[in-house]
Structure 1
């Protein structure tokens, strides 16, 4: 049984956090032991210190590389590490922020590793860093789209308009958020297609997050025929209102049932209410049950639903004098 299978689950539940560090540095440590043996073997062979100065530089550079290797391996599971620390201190980290933190830590490790190794071999790093000013300007102009995507990702993280697994809708795409990177956000549409949206585009569009609905709306007009009597209309409205206010799946904060307008072909009753559940399947079931109950109310009160129709009126084709003479 390897180090992961033996200790990683224990780490996840927070028993011994040191086990994770030991697991990630296990391979770099083995390589380090071999390098130490090679280094001291070469140092014994060489009689003059100056003759193996390159060996010392190489050994120190190898130590820096091994340390960076272990830290980068550790950042691969840093999300679980940060979540464990957050649970210990009763603090919840955003699921979107954790992958960004891991990638930023890896970038910092690589930059520091390059800087230390360059200084070890006698290169002047300060001049190189100063030269990055003009080079950075040219690079920024050439990669302005990529940089705008990175800043768009930062905006998404800081403002948190959505999180992973949220159902969102924009003018460009609608679906479930699967992943967020520095450059783009991947969204799985309801047709199971995977859409990759640049963060700069997504950050500049209006975003509707349907997963954060506290309740889900149902609204429509119910058209009755103009031949419906006033008493029937009042009875239907009262019974529908009673139906909705006593329905267990309907949120009782907002329930509107009113005669709304005189339509071209019908007397329109306006219905506006919300379901307690935001799940689409539950919403459809509740809507179906309410509509079937409304049909029962109409049938019980002998009220018909109007449909688009046209009435034609014909005038007499002949004058009355002609009709009398015949």
Structure 2
């Protein structure tokens, strides 16, 4: 006994699309049943899967299971509807059409799931520790995510067109030619894009770094975009440099240093005695060694350097444990004032450029 034997006679009348009215009612009921059972099956599947993923340390699999809920429900609905289709006793031609529609919905569900999986992957990659120290990588990850989504959608569209019987080979050839033309037209844009990738991977500079680019730009990096990098100069102007160009330039990053060198040369007057010079050298060296920010006492250099044109030159070099330029400026000021005290206590003084002119009198001419 078939299902049609239980159907009232009026519902056997043909309706739209050459299907009986009972078949249309059965399609609607089957769709509702498939949606309900798909929700239940998805809940049971997720519940069992979460029991497993909760045991892992990472939250990636938990987020992936949550984000794939919608696509899984859709795929379950399609599968259950396809299993119940034989009960509808559809004509072969109509059954094939509905099967093609189900395959299209199935493909949409798969693409939907892949797009959500890409979001989860990029989202977790953006929270990684190595990205926190590389702000540029966030922009690159976002770009990579968009490219992956475009690739998935393009592959899905080409597959759908091929299923519909369209000449996919000719379409791919046209896309290839168009891609070459686009590459020539957007050469600078592509160059800057690859420059951004190079800056993100090599990390010669980061947002917030105080840098010197070649000998022309000195300032703080405000933003590193996909096309250009903006640097705020000391005059508060903004210099925009294309990434393709900046990746090939010489970049000096001051933020990468772990200590700062204090180096100066002081000149004492030529009236300074040897005893006073030794007292000055000992006093300056003691000043440097006793400073709380002194990095390494073995790197202190305080030496009588040379007999200058108008001064006795003393070389002073030392390293201090700071990477902040504002803090170093305060340290430098403190040291220079301390050196002045040392020189004054030694009874010497600082020299300044002088020139001695000897006037020789000419012998008187004979009368």
TM-score interval for Structure 1 and Structure 2 normalised by the shorter chain: 0.7 to 0.9
Picking from 92, 115, 140, the partner of 2:155 is 115
1:72 Cα deviation (Å)?
Answer: 5.8
1:234 Cα deviation (Å)?
Answer: 2.2
In the aligned structure 2, how far is the partner of 1:156 from the partner of 1:195? 17
Picking from 259, 268, 271, the partner of 1:215 is 259
Match of 2:312 in 1: 267
In the aligned structure 1, how far is the partner of 2:271 from the partner of 2:365? 33
1:119 Cα deviation (Å)?
Answer: 2.0
Match of 1:155 in 2: 198
In the aligned structure 2, how far is the partner of 1:240 from the partner of 1:125? 81
**Structure 1 stretch displaced more, 47-56 or 125-134:** 47-56
Question: Counterpart of 1:196 in 2: which secondary structure?
Answer: strand
Question: Counterpart of 1:156 in 2: which secondary structure?
Answer: helix
Match of 2:359 in 1: 314
1:111 Cα deviation (Å)?
Answer: 1.6
Question: Counterpart of 1:77 in 2: which secondary structure?
Answer: helix
Match of 2:186 in 1: 143
1:201 Cα deviation (Å)?
Answer: 1.2
Kept after mapping to 1: 8 A contact 2:302/2:316:
yes
Gaps of 5+ in 2: 1-53
Q: Aligned pair count?
A: 301
Kept after mapping to 2: 8 A contact 1:78/1:102:
no
State the structure with more CA Rg.
Answer: 2
Instruction: Give TM-score scaled by structure 1 length.
Output: 0.73
1:63-102 alignment, distance < 5 Å? 63=109, 66-67=112-113, 70-71=116-117, 73-74=119-120, 77-83=123-129, 94-102=134-142
Question: Counterpart of 2:342 in 1: which secondary structure?
Answer: helix
> Is the alpha carbon distance of 1:278 and 1:81 closer, same or farther for their aligned partners in structure 2, counting shifts above 3 Å?
closer
Kept after mapping to 2: 8 A contact 1:153/1:182:
yes
> Is the alpha carbon distance of 1:194 and 1:214 closer, same or farther for their aligned partners in structure 2, counting shifts above 3 Å?
same
1:169 aligned to 2:212?
yes
Kept after mapping to 2: 8 A contact 1:76/1:102:
yes
Question: Counterpart of 1:268 in 2: which secondary structure?
Answer: strand
1:199 Cα deviation (Å)?
Answer: 1.6
Kept after mapping to 2: 8 A contact 1:57/1:120:
no
In the aligned structure 1, how far is the partner of 2:110 from the partner of 2:160? 10
Picking from 347, 359, 362, the partner of 1:302 is 347
Kept after mapping to 1: 8 A contact 2:71/2:110:
no
Question: Counterpart of 2:154 in 1: which secondary structure?
Answer: helix
Kept after mapping to 2: 8 A contact 1:236/1:297:
yes
> Is the alpha carbon distance of 1:236 and 1:93 closer, same or farther for their aligned partners in structure 2, counting shifts above 3 Å?
closer
Alignment deviations for residues 90-131 of structure 1 (CA, whole Å, 9 cap, x no partner): x99855434323321321221221221232133444443344
**What's the Cα RMSD here?**
4.0
Kept after mapping to 2: 8 A contact 1:164/1:178:
yes
In the aligned structure 2, how far is the partner of 1:71 from the partner of 1:21? 6
1:204 Cα deviation (Å)?
Answer: 0.9
Kept after mapping to 2: 8 A contact 1:217/1:274:
yes
Kept after mapping to 1: 8 A contact 2:264/2:316:
yes
> Is the alpha carbon distance of 1:211 and 1:18 closer, same or farther for their aligned partners in structure 2, counting shifts above 3 Å?
same
Kept after mapping to 1: 8 A contact 2:283/2:342:
yes
1:245 aligned to 2:285?
no
1:305 Cα deviation (Å)?
Answer: 0.6
Match of 1:199 in 2: 243
1:279 aligned to 2:344?
no
Gaps of 5+ in 1: 1-10
> Is the alpha carbon distance of 1:263 and 1:151 closer, same or farther for their aligned partners in structure 2, counting shifts above 3 Å?
same
> Is the alpha carbon distance of 1:15 and 1:150 closer, same or farther for their aligned partners in structure 2, counting shifts above 3 Å?
closer
Question: Counterpart of 1:212 in 2: which secondary structure?
Answer: coil
Instruction: Give TM-score scaled by structure 2 length.
Output: 0.66
1:16-31 alignment, distance < 5 Å? 16-17=59-60, 20-21=63-64
